[in-house]
Every structure is written in structure tokens, then in C-alpha cells.
């Protein structure tokens, strides 16, 4: 998976409205992933709710992009720290950039696009 490639995931039994929503959100997927990486790079560890607030994203937009950054692109990880949820007070995961995430953050913030980030298999 390329971090600068637009894509969305739909489950096998997706309804027509889910296809319409996915199609309309497709152009924003790359931008939203980049916003999350920038927020984590600038502010350090953040919970999902904090990411949503900082990036001005709804939960249905933030969580899939953060999931991709954790599970598909391997740029974000669980820091091991927990903070009380702003909503429930329950402990929540604090997400942080890993080494690859920091490399991508530096690439995003320097404005240099002279190289393309490629992950070997």
C-alpha cells in the first residue's frame, strides 16, 4: 500500500449508500492520512478523539485512516500510554509515529517530493 494512493475499504455486504459514501470520500483519504501523520508529528502522541479534534475529522473519517496507518502502512503504533477518554473517562490508546512514520512526516513537512516511499516485501 502506498501512503499517497487514494483507496477505501468496503465489506462484502456493503449497501449502495456505502458505495456512494466511499466514492465521495476517496479523494480525501490521502489528505486525511497526511493530516493525521502531521498532527502526530507536531503534537506527539494523541488518542483517536484528540486526532479527530486536532484534524477536524469525524470519527468515521479518522479511524479508518488511522487504522490504515497502523495496520497497512506500519507508520503509527500504540505508544503503550493510555489517557482517559474525553467522552467516557475510560482509558484509551495514545497513538504515536514509529520510525517509518517519522520518515514520512519529515518527507511531508520538507516539501521535497524527489523520492517516493516504497516498501519492500
The whole-angstrom separation of Cα 17 and Cα 115 is: 38
Q: What DSSP state is assigned to residue 77?
A: E
Assess whether pLDDT exceeds 60 at residue 120.
Answer: no
Distance CA 84, CA 61 (A): 22
Domains and CATH numbers, the chain: 29-110 (1.10.10.10)
Query: What digits encode the pLDDT tens for the residues 84-101?
Result: 998 899 999 999 999 999
Distance CA 68, CA 85 (A): 22
In this predicted structure, the answer to whether residue 20 has a pLDDT above a threshold of 90 is no
pLDDT at residue 102 is higher than 90: yes
Q: Given this model, what pLDDT does residue 27 score?
A: 75
Q: In angstroms, rounded to a whole number, what is the distance separating the alpha carbons of residues 13 and 79?
A: 34
- Provide the pLDDT for residue 24: 72
SS3 8: coil
Amino acid at each position: 500500500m502506498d501512503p499517497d494512493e487514494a483507496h477505501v475499504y468496503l465489506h462484502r455486504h456493503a449497501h449502495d449508500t456505502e458505495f456512494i459514501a466511499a466514492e465521495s470520500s476517496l479523494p480525501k483519504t490521502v489528505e486525511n492520512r497526511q493530516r493525521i501523520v502531521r498532527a502526530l508529528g507536531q503534537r506527539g502522541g494523541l488518542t483517536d478523539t484528540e486526532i479527530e479534534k486536532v484534524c477536524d475529522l469525524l470519527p468515521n473519517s479518522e479511524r479508518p485512516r488511522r487504522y490504515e496507518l497502523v495496520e497497512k502502512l506500519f507508520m503509527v503504533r500504540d505508544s503503550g500510554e493510555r489517557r482517559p477518554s474525553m467522552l467516557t473517562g475510560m482509558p484509551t490508546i495514545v497513538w504515536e509515529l514509529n520510525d517509518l512514520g517519522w520518515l514520512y512526516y519529515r518527507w511531508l513537512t520538507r516539501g521535497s517530493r524527489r523520492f517516493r516511499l516504497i516498501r519492500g516485501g
